[in-house]
Amino acid sequence: MIQRARIATCVFFVLNGFTLGTWVVHIPVIQDRADISKETLGYLILILGGAALVGMYVTGRLIDHFGSSKVVYVGSLLVSLSLLGPGLATSGFGLGIALTLLGLSNGLVDVSENAQGVEVEREYGRPILSAFHAFFSLGGILAAIVGGVAISLGVDIRLTLGIAAAIGIVVATSVRPWLFVAPPLVHATSGPRTKATWTSRVLLLGGLAFAILLAEGVAYDWSTVHLHDSLGASKAVAAYAFGIFSAMMTIVRLCADRIVARIGSAQYVRVAATIGAVGLSTAALSQTVPVALLGWGIFGVGLAGCVPQFFSAAGNVDPSASGSYLARVTACGYLGLLAGPAIIGILTRWVPLTTAFLVPLAGCVAAALLAPRALRQDVVHAPASD
């Protein structure tokens, strides 16, 4: 039943968020065990990101050949096993290898879970992809709670990561039979399978995914710095900026699909990206902490449901090469997520932080203006069935 496939896809998104969140929560502990500097840690995190991009590039062809259900399951097993590596690393070299494996396997899961989500959405007959991304966020929140408790109780990190890995393997295996297996495509000719190419529309979808996830990355890494350095908020209060942004992202993703079903993805992104631009402008121009917090919250409301629309459109450009197209757009978006914080950091050498925010602001405006062209409705969904 397609309802079971939807539940299974939600579970895999939660597992991915939980796995990555478990790694993030334990970064300080892992850094101490490996005895490395913050600078070295920064380089190793870049290696993780680069490995993820490589994994995404490879995944598209794997999905087109084997199907998303097989790839997301195998990828989830690999991510769970790779989670053990950072906890066992006792040197920078060992941690580098561990993060490379974690990045590669996460790239595999990131694309394949979205491909499975697009297939389920297509079969379901209405937008549901944003909700899957909300469950990814919920997985991260769960990891923060569990990891925080484990650290406070002094639980050995190897035990914590081992239990998390075991949970991931058991849960993924349990729901695997529920995953949606797309029927083989019947081609009108006996010619070769469609080869994915960088069409103007795919380039546009990739560019907009890059722009929105760049803005999201800026919020992750610079919202707290903005409140602390620009407005003089304490570190504790500054942390609320990221918390409010993340909370609004999660809440809106849970209800964005219903809005998209009513007004269409193009109109949704046009309005939502505009709201995001207003929110970031409010935060950047604010002179008080409460107004800045409000701005970051509005920014989260705006960004929450945009990227799933680009991923859904990429997966429906051509169903015969869905995985390859989705992999390209996902990789573009992930590159923006990695590049955004770095771009802002470089710009702050010459301009104030709030001025550097013009970069993600421009991305939001571009998404609002170009969404109708990128998200034209040329795919007809099949009605949901059991």
Residue 182 has pLDDT above 80, yes or no: no
- Cα(172)–Cα(90) distance, integer angstroms: 29
| pTM exceeds 0.85 | no
Residues 174 and 216 in one domain: no
Answer whether residue 383 is part of any domain. no
The angle at the Cα of 70, spanning 318 to 15, to the nearest 5 degrees, equals: 105
Which among 148, 178, 208 is the end of a domain?
178
Average pLDDT, the chain: 88
Answer whether residue 142 is part of any domain. yes
Answer whether residue 124 is part of any domain. yes
Residues 109 and 17 in one domain: yes
Report DSSP state, residue 228.
I
Q: Domain residues for 63?
A: 2-178
Q: Which two tokens stand for residue 200?
A: 């103007």
Residues 226 and 155 in one domain: no
Answer whether residue 187 is part of any domain. no
Q: Comparing C-alpha atoms, which of 113, 109, 119, 9 is closest to residue 55?
A: 109
Answer whether residue 191 is part of any domain. no
Q: What is the mean pLDDT of residues 137-155?
A: 87
Domain with residue 204: its CATH number is: 1.20.1250.20
Q: What are the DSSP calls for 37-50, one per residue? A: -HHHHHHHHHHHHH
For residue range 8-57, what is the model confidence (pLDDT) as tens digits? 999 999 999 899 888 878 888 888 899 988 778 878 888 888 899 999 98
pLDDT, position 251: 93
CB 153 within 8 A of CB 33: no
Residues 222 and 369 in one domain: yes
Residues 323 and 272 in one domain: yes
**Residue 182 neighbours by CB under 8 Å, 6+ apart:** 67, 68, 69, 119
Residues 208 and 146 in one domain: no
Taking CA atoms, 279 is separated from 128, 152, 274, 332, 371, in Å, by: 25, 35, 9, 24, 19
For residue range 196-255, what is the model confidence (pLDDT) as tens digits? 677 888 999 999 999 999 999 888 878 888 988 889 988 778 878 888 888 899 999 999
pLDDT, position 193: 54
CB 45 within 8 A of CB 96: no
Residues 166 and 205 in one domain: no
Domain count for the chain, please give it: 2
For residue range 120-145, what is the model confidence (pLDDT) as tens digits? 998 888 889 999 999 988 988 888 88
Supply the angle between the helices 265-285 and 358-374 in degrees, to the nearest 10. 170
Q: Phi/psi at 311 (nearest 5 deg)? A: -65, -40
Residues 170 and 207 in one domain: no
Could you give the residue ranges of the DSSP H alpha helices within 67-175?
Answer: 68-82, 84-88, 92-124, 129-152, 157-175
Q: How many CB atoms lie within 10 A of CB 49?
A: 18
Report DSSP state, residue 226.
I
Residues 129 and 274 in one domain: no
pLDDT, position 345: 84
Residues 210 and 353 in one domain: yes
Residues 34 and 172 in one domain: yes
Answer whether residue 195 is part of any domain. no
Which among 147, 178, 209 is the end of a domain?
178
Answer whether residue 339 is part of any domain. yes
- Cα(300)–Cα(252) distance, integer angstroms: 8
Residues 232 and 336 in one domain: yes
